[in-house]
């Protein structure tokens, strides 16, 4: 790994953070960021920098980085574009560990000379620079948080194992907000904007070696170096699954991308081919990024044969449709399983796949039928549909589902569709590590990607 990439650690695990453009005025970017560090009880040194103030929030404020005594691991810049090159120059002289530039007004509005200056300075000093024109970084483990959106509007996710790399701040932050909402943990968030110094490939490379990261989400509009991206994706995706969303597919969308992060979106077909070659999982929209990644906390599937349990016949039929449409298989239960299930069902019930427990099903019925399917060698994956609206389904369903998820014998996903009551339960399930979907189509699509990736990893192991 290149030294400049390795140095990203200075940004994610800093002992000291300088905030250039720190401000005492509420809602100003420089204030939101300063408050992030203070309110989240960042354990290192917090250094506000702003020539207009001597003191902000009881912290000594410096007029420039050159005035700050001691080592500076991470610098976050939130000042106008034209001031940035000089600040970078000072940072290089001061030998800071790494820099995050949030400010916009560079390549995306045609000011190439400003961008070029930054690139030259940082590269020469081997100082990693994230941005400019971005939301920067969030690390829930160390509380580094340059996201200038208030916490009550944009929840921050808990620590976990999923990393997000996003060229767009808006896309990255909404996926973060969704993750926090459903209790999904993340390892690192990187919103990298114009990619002036480091690009998506560098971040992938960094995350490959990051112990806290197990799966990676990538949103990109246009890569600067296509070949480098392909090779990096190939390498990283062998060990850690990459779920990628490419935006700027059509002509109109490409024009929009250009004025967004200053990058040429490039022919979609080339990206699609690269994803295919690297076996990267391609998402078709924001919600798919989120839907696809959250199943990767499950143990690997041995095959494509799915057992389905439901308490709503119609949703079972729709799920069976989705399974067949996605090229997964409805498992054929073993005779032992059939005999077991027959005991659970009411007299008029049919043992089939999907197994329809009918609306009378209580949590006990779920418990027994999941146990039977867990023991059936003909079933690789379980899809448990629980319509939480029926009277006999009570809160014990949380215990039963998380019990089987914790056992890690086979992958399980759940589907529950409904309003306020259902959504409240889904949040609890997700927070207990049970993947929960509010759409049968989305659930099965995610399952297919998960099963196919598992098979790919297995094929690598066998060929090695």
Residues 264-323 that bind a copy of itself (CB under 8 A): 265, 284-287, 311-318, 320-323
Selected from 10, 23, 168, 369, the binder of a copy of itself by CB under 8 A is: 168
Beta strands 305-310 and 215-220 are unpaired
Phi, psi at 49, each rounded to 5°? -130, 120
In this structure, the number of other CB atoms found within 10 A of the CB of residue 329 comes to: 14
* Contacts with a copy of itself, 43-82, as mask; x by CB under 8 A: ----------------------------------------
Selected from 21, 30, 98, 104, the binder of a copy of itself by CB under 8 A is: 104
Comparing CB distances to a copy of itself, the nearer of 68 and 283 is: 283
- The least distance separating a copy of itself from the CB of residue 265, rounded to whole angstroms, comes to 8
- The least distance separating a copy of itself from the CB of residue 134, rounded to whole angstroms, comes to 11
- The least distance separating a copy of itself from the CB of residue 291, rounded to whole angstroms, comes to 10
Selected from 145, 202, 205, 221, the binder of a copy of itself by CB under 8 A is: 221
Selected from 439, 452, 456, 457, the binder of a copy of itself by CB under 8 A is: 439
Helices (H), 294-374: 313-325, 335-344, 363-374
Selected from 38, 59, 92, 256, the binder of a copy of itself by CB under 8 A is: 256
Selected from 50, 142, 261, 414, the binder of a copy of itself by CB under 8 A is: 261
Of residues 337 through 356, those in contact with a copy of itself by CB under 8 A are 348, 350, 352-354, 356
Selected from 166, 201, 232, 237, the binder of a copy of itself by CB under 8 A is: 166
- The answer to the question of residue 38 lying near a copy of itself (CB under 8 A) is no
DSSP 324-336: HHTT-EE----HH
Distances from the Cα of 172 to the Cα of 41, 119, 177, 416, angstroms: 24, 24, 9, 26
- The least distance separating a copy of itself from the CB of residue 122, rounded to whole angstroms, comes to 23
- The least distance separating a copy of itself from the CB of residue 63, rounded to whole angstroms, comes to 26
Of residues 382 through 421, those in contact with a copy of itself by CB under 8 A are 387-392, 417-421
Which residues have a Cβ under 8 Å from the Cβ of 17 and sit 6 or more positions away? 37, 42, 44, 45, 46, 47, 72, 73, 74, 75, 76, 144
Q: At what angle do helices 226-239 and 268-278 cross, to 10 degrees?
A: 30
Selected from 1, 109, 112, 264, the binder of a copy of itself by CB under 8 A is: 109
Distances from the Cα of 28 to the Cα of 35, 103, 414, angstroms: 11, 13, 42
- The least distance separating a copy of itself from the CB of residue 336, rounded to whole angstroms, comes to 21
- Sign of the four-CA dihedral 99, 100, 105, 109: positive
**Distance from chain centroid for Cα 95:** 32
Comparing CB distances to a copy of itself, the nearer of 44 and 349 is: 349
Comparing CB distances to a copy of itself, the nearer of 192 and 206 is: 192
Comparing CB distances to a copy of itself, the nearer of 96 and 223 is: 223
Maximum Cα interatomic distance, the chain, rounded to a whole number of Å: 82
Number of residues interacting with a copy of itself: please give it, by CB under 8 A.
87
Burial of 350 (0-12, 13-18, 19+ CB in 10 A): exposed
Beta strands 136-139 and 144-145 are antiparallel
Comparing CB distances to a copy of itself, the nearer of 9 and 390 is: 390
């Amino acid at each position: 790994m290149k030294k400049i990439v390795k140095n990203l650690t200075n940004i994610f695990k800093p002992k000291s953070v300088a905030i250039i453009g720190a401000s005492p005025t509420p809602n100003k970017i420089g204030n939101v960021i300063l408050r992030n560090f203070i309110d989240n009880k960042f354990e290192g040194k917090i250094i506000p920098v702003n020539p207009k103030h001597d003191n902000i929030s009881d912290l000594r404020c410096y007029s420039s980085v050159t005035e700050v005594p001691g080592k500076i691991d991470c610098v976050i810049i939130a000042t106008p574009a034209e001031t940035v090159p000089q600040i970078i120059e000072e940072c290089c002289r001061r030998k800071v560990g790494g820099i995050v530039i949030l400010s916009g007004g560079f390549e995306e509005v045609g000011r190439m000379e400003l961008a070029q200056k930054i690139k030259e300075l940082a590269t020469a000093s081997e100082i990693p620079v994230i941005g400019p024109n971005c939301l920067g970084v969030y690390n829930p483990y160390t509380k580094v948080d340059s996201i200038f959106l208030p916490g009550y509007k944009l929840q921050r996710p808990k620590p976990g194992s999923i990393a997000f790399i996003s060229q767009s701040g808006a896309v990255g932050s909404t996926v973060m907000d969704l993750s926090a909402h459903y209790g999904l943990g993340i390892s690192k968030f990187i919103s990298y904007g114009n990619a002036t110094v480091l690009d998506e490939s560098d971040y992938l490379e960094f995350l490959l070696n990051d112990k806290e990261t197990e799966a990676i989400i990538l949103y990109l509009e246009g890569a600067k170096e296509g070949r480098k991206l392909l090779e990096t994706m190939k390498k990283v995706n062998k060990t850690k699954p990459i779920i990628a969303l490419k935006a700027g597919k059509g002509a109109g969308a490409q024009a929009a991308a250009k004025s967004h992060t200053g990058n040429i979106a490039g022919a979609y077909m080339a990206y699609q081919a690269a994803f295919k070659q690297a076996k990267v999982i391609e998402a078709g929209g924001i919600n798919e990024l989120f839907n696809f990644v959250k199943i990767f906390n499950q143990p690997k599937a041995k095959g494509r044969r799915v057992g389905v349990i439901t308490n709503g016949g119609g949703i079972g039929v729709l799920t069976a449709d989705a399974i067949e449409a996605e090229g997964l298989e409805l498992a054929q239960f073993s005779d032992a399983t059939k005999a077991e299930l027959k005991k659970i069902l009411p007299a008029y019930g049919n043992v089939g796949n999907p197994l329809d427990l009918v609306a009378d099903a209580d949590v006990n019925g779920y418990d027994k039928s999941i146990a039977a399917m867990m023991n059936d060698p003909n079933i690789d994956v379980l899809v448990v549909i629980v319509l939480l609206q029926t009277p006999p389904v009570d809160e014990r369903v949380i215990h039963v589902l998380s019990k089987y998820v914790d056992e890690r014998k086979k992958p399980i996903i759940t589907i529950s569709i409904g309003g306020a009551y259902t959504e409240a339960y889904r949040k609890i399930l997700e927070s207990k590590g049970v993947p929960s979907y509010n759409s049968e189509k989305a659930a099965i699509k995610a399952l297919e990607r998960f099963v196919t990736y598992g098979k790919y990893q297995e094929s690598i192991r066998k060929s090695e």
